[in-house]
Amino acid sequence: MERLLEKGQRFSSVSVEQLTQEAGLARATFYLHFRDKSELVVRLMSHVTEELIASTGNWLGNSEVAQHKDLQQAMVGVVHTFKKHQAILAAVSDTASHDPDVAHLYQAMIDQISEQSRRALATVKRNGLSRPDATNDVADELSGMLVTYCAQNVGKRDGAELDRLAKALGYIAASAVFSDTA
């Protein structure tokens, strides 16, 4: 799916025939693993979401020890994961506006990241390192904005420009969460 999207194929027009041809599989083999193209997309989005969360390192993976620098580093991981999967994430983001099933998948990804962010923020609060107004709403909005922005813009950047973007997003996120004395 990702390779076809990277080649310029539209998400909604990718057929099972094209998928099996690109993967070098028989059509019957596809149906042994997936009920239909929608199930493939569900599993692909689940994998990408897990990879996004894993790319945040201590921020979402071990928030008990998370520091200001860990949130900044998490943004580097997120940006590079979005870059790696830019084709599928941009296609899902675009398709979500007119396909309720894809919109549900996209929202589920944002919700999962938001839930993890809420937990990390709660830990930062318990440790006395957060801004007083850093609430669950801040975690939710930062998560949603980050996913939406990255899905639409990371694909346009490479190299040093991508690194500057990750650094800027890290600064914004850390500034919204951590107190100035943290």
Give tens-digit pLDDT for 35-48: 888 888 888 888 99
The rounded distance, in Å, linking the Cα atoms of 7 and 64 is 42
In this prediction the pTM is 0.85
Return d(Cα 30, Cα 40) in angstroms, integer: 9
Average pLDDT estimate for 107-121:
93
Tokens 């993890």 correspond to 116
141 vs 69: CA distance, rounded Å: 20
pLDDT in tens, 65-98: 878 889 999 999 999 999 999 888 888 888 888 8
Sign of CA pseudo-dihedral 150, 169, 182, 130: negative
Q: Provide the pLDDT for residue 31.
A: 93
Can you tell me which residue has the tokens 């199930």? 39
Q: What is the pLDDT of residue 182?
A: 63
Contact 59, 76 (CB under 8 A): no
